[in-house]
Structure 1
Amino acid sequence: MSDVQSIVDRFEIEALRGEFTDAGMMRDPDRFAALFTPDGVWRMSHIDVELVGPDEIRAWIGRAWPLWEYFVQTVHPGTIRLDGDTATGRSYVEEFGRFGDGGSHRNYAIYHDRYRRTPDGWRFTERAYEIRYADSTPLAGSPDLAPFPFRSDEA
């Protein structure tokens, strides 16, 4: 693999991870599910969830998102190890939000990933979520519910 191809692959995998966060924050279930291969798995062992394939992923998040009053996820770059048309990696996550029932959640976690190059670009074949710290102390803040005057997808 050329050095240029390695740079391109790393950039595209980083963009895939960014799309995951953006699709989640923008509550776009179709885009979110499309980031996984047909046999892709999303694991969240802390809530005993294992979803296989885009259809299961789309259906589950369609049920989960309405439970949240608001949810924020910030992802920080981690590692990427390339191996031809596959790769592994990690990214580091901070999340917080409040459920509609008033319960709060804040955590720091790691995504352990496996990726595959497809005709549509890099996709997740596995995304396993490991919480390292969780806090259910009530969040003091609140979401700003005023309409935002500009959305980047309207440009």
Structure 2
Amino acid sequence: MSDFQAVADRVEIEALRGEFTDAAMMCDYDRIASLFTPDGVLRMPNVPVELAGRDQIRAWRERREALVALFVQTTHPGTIRLDGDTASGRAYLQELIRLRDGSSHLNYAIYHDRYRRTGEGWKFTERVYEVRYLDHSPLAGSAPPAAGDTR
């Protein structure tokens, strides 16, 4: 593999990870599902949830919407190890979550990823969410009111 191809692959994988974060923040599970291979798996053992295939990943939206009132995820670059048309990597993240039951979460976590080059570009074959730090202290802040909201 040429140095140029390796750089291009890393940029594309980093863009894939960025798309995932943006889609998660926007609660766009159609887009999240499209970032996985058809047989891709999203595992969240701490939740606990395992979503196999695009249909299950897409369907997670309804459950998440029912549980989560506020969600902010910031993902930071990690590692990428290329191996031809497959790769593995890690990304590091911080999340602020307020559930509809009033409980709060401040998480620091890692995504453990596996990727595959497809005809549509790099896709996740597996993404495993591992919480490394969890704080249940009530979040002091809140989302600002929507524009025009007079509350």
TM-score if structure 1 supplies the norm length? 0.92
- Per the alignment, residue 49 of structure 2 pairs with 49
- Per the alignment, residue 139 of structure 1 pairs with 139
| 1:97-118 C-alpha deviation (Å, 9 max, x unpaired) | 2112211111000000000011
- Percent same amino acid among aligned pairs? 66
Does structure 2 retain, via aligned residues, the 8 Å contact 1:105–1:137?
A: yes
Paired amino acid for 2:11: F
Deviates more, 1:119-128 or 1:98-107: 98-107
Does structure 1 retain, via aligned residues, the 8 Å contact 2:90–2:110?
A: yes
Q: What pairs up with 1:5-154 in 2 under 5 angstroms?
A: 5-147=5-147
Does structure 2 retain, via aligned residues, the 8 Å contact 1:40–1:54?
A: yes
Which consecutive aligned stretches of 4+ in structure 1 deviate over 2 angstroms post-superposition?
Answer: 145-148
What is the alpha-carbon root mean square deviation over aligned residues?
Answer: 1.2
Consecutive unaligned residues in structure 1, runs of 5 or more: 149-155
Deviates more, 1:139-148 or 1:98-107: 139-148
Consecutive unaligned residues in structure 2, runs of 5 or more: none
TM-score if structure 2 supplies the norm length? 0.94
Paired amino acid for 1:86: T
Aligned residues: 148
Cα separation, partners in 2 of 1:3 and 1:26, compared to 1, 3 Å = same
CA distance in 2, matches of 1:55, 1:21: 19
Paired amino acid for 2:132: R
SS class of match (1:46): coil
Paired amino acid for 1:69: A
Does structure 1 retain, via aligned residues, the 8 Å contact 2:29–2:60?
A: no
